Chain A
């Protein structure tokens, strides 16, 4: 019986190795931007998407997923907006920095009426081009398809995450793939202005996304809501500030992506995490604090870490225990009792230091 158990354990370990080794079946996620998104912003959107995906997968799965951007310029449309912005800033004797602060929504972001009007006029004047899907730049789709094919040739599956106008590109690109390639290429549509997702895949459109609703009457119906997390009508269409910030839409998009991951990718491990923020008495986060977790059954140190620059700590792969967590820095100390349950759980526990560190 004992030897049977050992064999079973060994088999399990081997399977774990097979699961963790995903070199033959990795997934490449391409974010495909919409209009009025410049390259650095598109690159930042990818990072945001990565964080959202990472929050929902295991570290083993993270070893099987790659990300990239398939960038679209849609430049004549953007140049029109910029020229309108130049005229408007001249008229209002503003600086171009004022235009860009609105465009990039630089904190502290206060939506300016003049900029909102500018965007509304811009959308109205470009409605035909946008709505008719006539705005596709052929050379861009060619370059994108070449990249998807390169990934497919490496045995990877491809997931396209297009936002807004990027959906027209993604649909067009998917149609141009061979049947075999289509089989390994999926679309997770976001704020799509199109009337379909080319591969019949999932989509997320917010009911509060005024642009999607008003300017694209043919678009797939909006079925998701974040409540009132977006700042105004225009921002509600934003991938970063609306779709990824709002919990419902973010979860839905990420779940749609995870549902497409190959089944050979292992499920999340049956362990828990403990995370939280270390604060001082002034209510400020404490970076660099040493955080230690002890099992109260043995008072052995289980694991330790340090808070990051935002005072955040995270301890992973924890087994069930009644534990004692402490945090300290030269001039402050704090602790708490925590229970790590038997079911995998993300336990959160903030710690307040008893003295104010210098």
Chain B
């Protein structure tokens, strides 16, 4: 026993030592072994023999131009136009490797001997149907998997490469639903909202919903090599490190994640190091962000002035005023006629030119493999000075000792992001085109003169460029260090035990600085007196850190009994914990604007207090999975998970989740085998229940909080913060899925269809209490949301001419989803009713039976041609010209019903062309451009520029039949007139790649291949709604050029 312990201790030490020696030690080791391999290729005795054969695909067609390599060296032969290869190999045992674009690499072992050999090869398609499904906990054969899952390969990632990994995923898979964020546009620092198969969580209260803080409740769980990671980390992840991404959609797939699985799971698998001679892969690229301002159509200085004058803004009843105003108009007019006009749209934007660099080194022997990679990416946003820089470095080690495999993966990530100091784009759009930001001397003016000329008390409007030119700072950053370690032990060939442990540390900080010259201080009344003057200049600093660990033990057994009964049993035990804390504080009185340093501040913010958060969560899960397949025809799948979490009530700490599914491989039936058309036909169905840990908060326990900011005599106290609800339980989602997969015409056409339903019950919401309980509500499980829909994907090869190495692949996806609230808490209902009764205007309303994202507006009957006023239909069915919030009716759902994409990949020899269209339709949008930029009130014209339609399409005179009302004082309120069908078609991705691997490259440049790539994203947008896109930050067209070198 003690001897064993010593041995194990040594082993551990060695593993640790090895890890610290990387990359140099292992690099040398790899070099050494691969050199010896190379010698082996030439054979010590110099004797050789011939190997030949034909390479075909699964449909039996010969594959042309497949490189064949010996061992792990360079390709030494290529298949000819009949798919045949011939090459000489040494007489000792060796391996042949066949690689081909779009196909899985094949490897065969040749025994030692002197006889010539014939080996025919069948290569399998890389992307679908035959793969293994990686669920992050268990790996399962797709042939017997009942879950709905879509797989994205690294090739697809390269073809669709976008601004960041999330943008890339958006163009590839339509089942990932990205919420359109018209406000944030193409801001590289914006984290998008994603959901899979519709929203399944409700915000806690109507107020919370309206404040749009509920961004994260529907975000899917993201798993990287078995460990949870954040959406932001995925966004910044180095896509070159990814082998594949599996998106688990239904309960059968996500039940193994129990409480965290209800929003779907994105499982990312990193590339494993390949054994062999040192391979170096390098990439250099340019990333261009070109602003797309085509949705903006604004009046120029002359037109704007014309509109203002036509509406009588420069006239008055009182003659002396009238005279003054007209004079002011004439001054403006003469200035405009002499050419004074400003293109404000262009002021804060630029064509951002960023870059990215990637290096990956890998090698080693079969026993010991390693990879090291580094990636730097600098995205320069379309607004000036906005950028996001990320660095990722990783070291991966794999050591195989007989039947034990050790893996260690260390990554370090660093992100620095900065928001544009130009602020919101919308304030530039609003500027008057006749205002000139610079004076005669080329100096920035601080203020523009008031609309009707200088007058007492009106100092005019601030020039946004003035603040923008100051040294303001708005940046943040974070660093993550993660280490994941795993041991996999094949106890017997059928039984594998795996242990994993991951540890991660995150630190972050943020800086916000407003220099003393900023308009906040020059105009703010509290900064004008002596004391206020010294308070000018503000610095807000925030910092925090997080620490988490995650470990699991996993046992998997699979065995085939009597050739027909295939059994798989898996068990997993998982624990995880997370600690985090953050602080922030503000200081003021920094007079030296060129030196924005916190230490230069005069004092803390007046009456300000430091703020901070501290959190701690823990979770335990037990998972089991059984899969039984009979004769490769019928299979049944069972998953069960028990989850415990610190965020739930004392009485409900543990919750069970489950799923079950059945499947039938029709194509393996005897009667079907003879079928000449269909080669694959699989039917599957599953049901299950999963949960969501999101938004649970601390509602379960009656919590006391220490009061730190007050005292009673010399004592400090603790107070109750809220009543706990010990019965609070997990929000659970019951879902079902019916799927069909098929392949036909020798694999020329493949497809998958899934129909699903999803019911989320126990939704968390507030429950009212009488005031005599002291607190007005507590958190309870109330309400239910349902989603129903289907997903269809088809892949076909119109041309698959392997002889000429020419293929054309078309892939299309169509997704339909219907979402509605099926049950609501009485509290929410009562609140909604109260709002309606009291005509309180709320941005979003909830009703049972209606979609979660719905548009409510007052029914409009159009513009009365005689008065130019809008007519409405009130709740009693009367025509009225008064708008009341209580008259709002349902006008359509805000989410599109159908979404999809359609992509074409053309390959000819080394060339690959891809173009992808994305589309969605069936939803509605409230066109706020019309409200804010066209149907503005007459007073608003005095302070902002407007859309062209404000000049051309508005009611002016009695008898005008127009879509837009006449000019008046009142703002247009929510009206059905502005609710429009939102149908969109986008050319979301266009890419061209050329892979250059001629003899010249191999011999003269000493490289295996050079790949040139050009990726363009968001090129063209056709929409049924004419509205401004990207109001706070413009949309941009993203163009990436890159060169990838493989040594």
To the question of whether A and B form a pair in one complex, the answer is no
Residues in B lying within 8 Å of A, measured CB to CB: none
Binding site for B on A (CB under 8 A): none
